[in-house]
Structure 1
Amino acid sequence: MKKIIPVLFTLLFLVGCLPKPKISISGVEDGKIYVTEQTISIDQNLAGDDYTLKLNGESITNKHTVTDNGHYDLEVTAKKWWQEEEKSIQFEIDDVPPKKPELKANIRSSYFKSVTFGLEREKDVSYEIKLDGKRHDIDSPITKEGDHYLNIVATKDNQLVSQRKFRFEIDNRTYSRNEVDSFEWLSLNLIHKESNLPRIQKWTEDVDVVVHGEPTSQDWKSLNTYISTLNETLPFYLNLHKKDDRTYNAGTIIMHFVPNYRFDELGFQQPLRQGDGEIVGFAYPNKVTYNGVFKEATIGIDTTIPQHTRNTTIYHELIHALGLYKHFDNNRSSILYPYNDTGVTKLAKIDKKMIELLYRPDITPGMYKPQVEATLKPRIID
């Protein structure tokens, strides 16, 4: 018995001196979500040589790289002699951003009186919603008239984000049934000869009005006045230029001041005599996209007529070139009256209303009559 005691004492002493295994993992942390691949490493000096790494139940080696998206359970065991330590780490790899926020209401450029957008929410995604820079409840109606800016930022648990932002307006303008009928008559035209149904055609970007020929100083003065007036209304700018002074914007209206007997040189194919009158001006689009966006138009102004009638003709043809290619046959106060003996050089109320309707943001190029009707129907007051 005396011989055994020193041996047991020695073993107990050695056990007390042996370091316990320690698990130190780098590359992943418990509860973390990663958007890139991660390499799992264990400190072998601390763990010793007798350790195991299991990822979702499968054995892996030190410095194992995880690349695929998914949820992962890492189980680690380290042993030294009869001492053992265990550690469990759960992590996730997810490099997929949240979906772009989807609204329940259709996104349009203009709404009548109010709009409530609503939001299709994605699981595990938070949303920051701001209207005109202030926090907004997406399920609350927006009724304030005017222009607005909505910005929605979606953030996923992996901190990846997606965004939807757009501008719109609450516009409470209304129109009479007669005004809408007149507008449809004036603005719906065949885009190409092979077209079957008339559609809306309009300019969508700034337009250069390039003058050719021999305009008088009064012609220039009238043009400047008319274009300044139109630029107060249109959602783009008409920019007046001489022939050799171009900036080449997206669209071009080429205005020729020539005697009317030269109109055929400009592509005008109709007889100059029309009933008891004579053609002293014309306008037609010569470049239109398949969906009704004007790119180029030509105007001809007869230089043989008196200045006072030419002033009316210039404005008349310029309004045609905006996309209103028909006439108000019985309204002598309108600039779209087909004869220039009225001396009209200002837009009548009906002219302004027609331009307003054509260049509403919700009246888009390429629309057919049923689409125009559906868009304007809530605004018709009689």
Structure 2
Amino acid sequence: MTGASPPEATVGASTIGLDANIVVGREDFELRAQVRVGPGEVLAVLGPNGAGKTTLLRALAGLLALREGHVEVGGARWDDPAANLFVPTTDRRVGLVFQDYRLFPHLSVLDNVAFAARARGARRGVARTGAAQVLERLGLDSLAARRPDQLSGGQAQRVALARALASEPAMVLLDEPLAALDARTRLEIRTELRRHLSAFAGPSIVVTHDPLEALVLADRILVLEEGRIAQTGTPSEVARRPVTEYVARLMGLNLYSGCLAGPGRIVLDGGGELRTATRSVEDLAEGSRVLAVLSPGAISLHLGELPQGSPRNVWTGTVSGVELLTDRVRVAVTGAPDALVDVTAAAVAELQLSPGQEVRLSAKATEVTAYPAP
């Protein structure tokens, strides 16, 4: 499998840390997903707002009871409606890290981290000793006496993770763990978080809306759309071969669907055609459904005639938008097919690009990656 799987597909490894078949919902929404995550494996869950990401975490944590299916972690079954079994959140060995961290404002860092052990009935001294060891392991022992309002955003995130790990969890769940941080702190904490999650022996699930966060933190990525699994795979598989428009936009790619109409020729559903040199579609029969990906940086934009020796893919369009990104300008072009094109700011100034302007686009066949549609 190369990045795509059917909506009900299973995610994970041969040795299972988490084995869950989630069916939950309300009248206007249903989440239905099978998820398996191996011990020590980090799964990132991506998806648009309302896709069911937080619902998935709530079901795994026991904050939401299943309607059908089961949740099993490390061989212990926590939820099974058919067997009339439901283990409440307080009795599940789950380490939770929320977006807003939810540290207790009246407790010191040490006592925040010791809270899980205290809640399980440990003596105060024993709980604090264990918490101190976790803080030292994470390099946070100098913060032990501080209160949450004396912490920076990055420090609060680290403490929230320490509290989750101090509970000796069988599974760690993180809900947008870096969303509250500024860009500079997020970069620093992202690398640190990856190191700590890699050292954790159980399964970890990270819900995020940031594709870079998913690519850096996860061993595997699961994409939810409208309560169903739209795509699964390793970060490189998902980044290289998106199967939905949402994933393609997330990865900054143009995605087209169509049919093979001969060797290397794809007739696109939305109009137009593309030529590809991708070998993976050479053996497919004519008429086979395929997806084609083209990076915005691989498309050239012209106002006049194309130079000699131009690429095999050439088409016309109209500029519909111009957006300044961090280090480039993205031009939206309406045509057959539509395309997002990345150019330099100097090129925009030189060409005087503006909405409504007619342009010509070109791309090499070797830049068009094609693969069978799922």
* TM-score between both structures, scaled by the size of structure 2: 0.24
Structure of greater relative contact order (alpha carbons < 8 Å, 6+ residues apart): 2
Superposition TM-score, scaled by structure 1 size? 0.24
Larger Rg computed on CA atoms: 1
Larger helix fraction of residues: 2
